[in-house]
A and B are shown apart, each in its own frame.
Chain A
Amino acid sequence: MRDVLYLAWRYLAHHRFKTGVLVASITLILFVPAALRTLVDRSERQLTARAEATPLLVGTKGSPLELVLSSLYFGQDVPERMPFGETARIRETGLAQAIPLYVRFRAGKDPIVGTTVDYFDVRGLEIADGRSMTRLGDCVLGARVAKQRGVGPGGSILSSPETVFDLAGIYPLKMRVTGVLAPSGGPDDEAVFVDVKTAWVIEGLAHGHEDLTSPDAAARILKREEGRVVGNASLVQYNEITDDNVDSFHFHGDVAEFPITAVLALPFDRKSSALLRGRYEAPDETRQILKPATVMDDLLGDILTVEKFVVAAFLLVGLATLATAALVFLLSIRLRRREIETLVKIGGSKPRVTAILLTEIVAVLLASAVLAAALTWAVSGMAGELIRTWVG
Chain B
Amino acid sequence: MIRIANLDFTYRGGDFRLAIDDLVIEDGTTAAVVGPSGSGKTTWLHLLAGILVPDAGSIVVNDVEVSGLGDRRRREFRIRQIGMVFQEFELLDHLSVLDNILLPYRITPALDLEEQVRVRARDLAERVGLGDKVRRPPRRLSQGERQRVGVCRALLPDPPLLFADEPTGNLDPETSDRVLDLLFDYAGERGATLLTVTHDHSRLDRFDRVLDAGPWGRRP
Contact (Cβ within 8 A) B84 A352? no
Q: Say yes or no for A353: interface residue by CB 8 A criterion.
A: yes
A75 to B92, CA, bound (A): 63
User: Chain A: which residue is nearest B103 at the CB level?
Assistant: A346
Report chain A residues within 8 Å CB of B72.
349-350
Count of chain B residues near A, Cβ 8 A: 31
Contact (Cβ within 8 A) B108 A349? yes
A344 to B82, CA, bound (A): 13
Q: What total count of A-B pairs have CB within 8 Å?
A: 72
Contact (Cβ within 8 A) B104 A7? no
A156 to B93, CA, bound (A): 68
Q: Say yes or no for B71: interface residue by CB 8 A criterion.
A: yes
Contact (Cβ within 8 A) A14 B107? no
Contact (Cβ within 8 A) B92 A3? no
| Secondary structure call for the A interface | helix
Q: Say yes or no for B106: interface residue by CB 8 A criterion.
A: yes
Q: Say yes or no for A154: interface residue by CB 8 A criterion.
A: no
A54 to B33, CA, bound (A): 93
Contact (Cβ within 8 A) A348 B109? no
Binds B, one of A91-99, A238-246, A335-343, A368-376: A335-343
Report chain A residues within 8 Å CB of B51.
344-345
A14 to B94, CA, bound (A): 5
Contact (Cβ within 8 A) A347 B104? yes
Contact (Cβ within 8 A) B94 A347? no
A242 to B64, CA, bound (A): 105
A338 to B92, CA, bound (A): 10
Contact (Cβ within 8 A) A11 B108? no
Report chain B residues within 8 Å CB of A352.
107-109
A10 to B99, CA, bound (A): 10
Q: Which of A3, A10, A346, A349 is most buried by chain B, counting CB atoms within 10 A of its CB?
A: A346
Q: Say yes or no for B95: interface residue by CB 8 A criterion.
A: yes
Contact (Cβ within 8 A) B93 A3? no
Contact (Cβ within 8 A) B75 A10? no
Report chain A residues within 8 Å CB of B152.
none
Report chain B residues within 8 Å CB of A10.
94-95, 99
Q: Say yes or no for B16: interface residue by CB 8 A criterion.
A: no
A32 to B46, CA, bound (A): 52
Chain A nearest Cβ from B138, distance in angstroms: 11
Q: Which of B75, B76, B82, B105 is most buried by chain A, counting CB atoms within 10 A of its CB?
A: B75
Report chain B residues within 8 Å CB of A251.
none
A347 to B109, CA, bound (A): 11
A339 to B86, CA, bound (A): 12
User: Which chain A residues (145-172) contact chain B, with CB distance < 8 Å?
Assistant: none
Known pairs A3-B113, A338-B90, A342-B86; A348 contacts B95 (CB<8 A): no
Known pairs A10-B95, A10-B99, A339-B92; A349 contacts B110 (CB<8 A): yes
A15 to B106, CA, bound (A): 20
User: Chain B: which residue is nearest A355 at the CB level?
Assistant: B107
Contact (Cβ within 8 A) B94 A346? no
Contact (Cβ within 8 A) A346 B104? yes
Known pairs A3-B113, A6-B106, A10-B99; A347 contacts B90 (CB<8 A): no
Provide the B199-214 mask, 1 if CB < 8 A to any CB of A, else 0: 0000000000000000
Q: Say yes or no for B151: interface residue by CB 8 A criterion.
A: no
Contact (Cβ within 8 A) B75 A350? yes
User: Chain A: which residue is nearest B111 at the CB level?
Assistant: A347
Say which residue of A3, A11, A338, A349 sits within 8 Å of B94 (CB atoms): A11
Report chain B residues within 8 Å CB of A7.
95, 106-107
A343 to B108, CA, bound (A): 10
Contact (Cβ within 8 A) B107 A353? yes
Report chain B residues within 8 Å CB of A349.
72, 75-76, 107-110
A7 to B84, CA, bound (A): 20
Say which residue of A14, A344, A346 sits within 8 Å of B93 (CB atoms): A14
Chain B nearest Cβ from A281, distance in angstroms: 77
Provide the B144-164 mask, 1 if CB < 8 A to any CB of A, else 0: 000000000100000000000
Report chain A residues within 8 Å CB of B95.
7, 10
Known pairs A10-B94, A10-B99, A14-B93; A345 contacts B49 (CB<8 A): yes
Q: Say yes or no for B78: interface residue by CB 8 A criterion.
A: yes
Chain A nearest Cβ from B4, distance in angstroms: 20
Q: Would you give 8 A-B contacts (Cβ < 8 Å), ordered by A?
A: A14-B137, A339-B92, A342-B90, A343-B103, A346-B153, A347-B108, A348-B107, A349-B109
Given contacts A345-B46, A347-B104, A348-B79, 8 further A-B contacts (CB under 8 A): A13-B94, A14-B94, A342-B92, A344-B51, A346-B84, A346-B104, A347-B76, A349-B109
